Amino acid sequence: MDPAGGDPAAVDPAWAAGEGAASPSPDPAAPAGPQGAASPTAAATTVAPPVPPTLTPLAPGTPVEVAYGPRTGRNVALTFHGSGDPRIATALLEIAEQRGAALTVMAVGSWLDQQPQMAHRILDGGHELGNHTQNHQNISAMGPDQARAEIAQCAERLQRLTGSIGRWFRPSAAQYATPMVREQARAVGYEHVLSFDVDPRDYSDPSAAELQRRVLASVKGGSVVALHMGHQCTVDALPGILDGLTRAGLAPVTASRLCA
């Protein structure tokens, strides 16, 4: 995970049931067409706005901050910090898609600025996209205005690229959102914060075998696992993680499906 912080007590302990570009301007010097008709090159063109993804309805009683889903089910959510080399991110998505697994990617806004194509690549693969702040700084240490700006700037990128701000917000450099951060997320439009209960620390670059061991030793029905896209060890470990989940009778789904 990102270094932990915030308020663990914010997670509802009772949660154990249920699952572009502008068109060119006309050239005023261009000659008129026949009978004064506008030149075809001067005709205005429009770019259709992106079609927002369809969001799975959440079960009644889903808490504001979700660290895990229903323990009675067999679904789990593999969630990824969205940043880093797009080739590594794409490799992770391809492995998941080949295995029929759906991921939840909590994208950093500055990464979307650098790699805007990844927003649709994630959604087109059947995965889910959420907000992990604009610059991935310690949001718990910020004042309310700065915290809201960090959330809102990433939300603006998501809206522009996909037609939706997404359902989930995850605080940066913190496992749980403080009350102030939750308030600012709600003001931007996020009713739910996505935390996690399994942190295998893939950002420390363990071996693939060790990362598999860490995940599979801790995961259980309803778990939300925090992983990162920018690490080759995670790519190398993912096939074994998915195999281990299958052996345990667990199915990797999006966070929304987990809470449906």
> Between residues 3 and 90, which one has the greater pLDDT?
90
> Between residues 14 and 101, which one has the greater pLDDT?
101
Are 62 and 174 in contact, with CB atoms under 8 Å apart?
Answer: no
Banded model confidence at residue 219, pLDDT cuts 50, 70, 90: very high
Look at residue 5 and tell me whether its pLDDT is greater than 70. no
Banded model confidence at residue 12, pLDDT cuts 50, 70, 90: very low
Question: How many percent of the chain have pLDDT more than 70?
Answer: 82
Mean pLDDT check: name the lowest of 10-14, 47-51, 195-199, 249-253: 10-14
pLDDT of residue 241: 99
> Helical H runs in the chain?
86-98, 109-114, 117-124, 144-162, 179-188, 208-218, 232-247, 255-258
pLDDT of residue 47: 67
Q: What are the chain's domains? A: 63-258 (3.20.20.370)
Round to whole Å and give the CA distance between 141 and 181. Answer: 10
Round to whole Å and give the CA distance between 162 and 164. Answer: 6
Neighbours of 187 (CB within 10 A): 13
Banded model confidence at residue 48, pLDDT cuts 50, 70, 90: confident
Look at residue 205 and tell me whether its pLDDT is greater than 90. yes
Q: Rounded to the nearest 5 degrees, what angle is found at the Cα of 72, between the Cα atoms of 71 and 78?
A: 50
pLDDT of residue 169: 99
pLDDT of residue 45: 57
Banded model confidence at residue 90, pLDDT cuts 50, 70, 90: very high
For the segment 121-150, what is each residue's pLDDT rounded down to a tens digit? Answer: 999 999 999 999 999 999 999 999 999 999
Give me Rg for the CA atoms of the chain: 21
User: Taking residues 165-172, what's their average pLDDT?
Assistant: 99
| pTM of the predicted model as reported, rounded to 2 decimal places | 0.83
Mean pLDDT check: name the lowest of 42-51, 129-138, 143-152, 210-219: 42-51
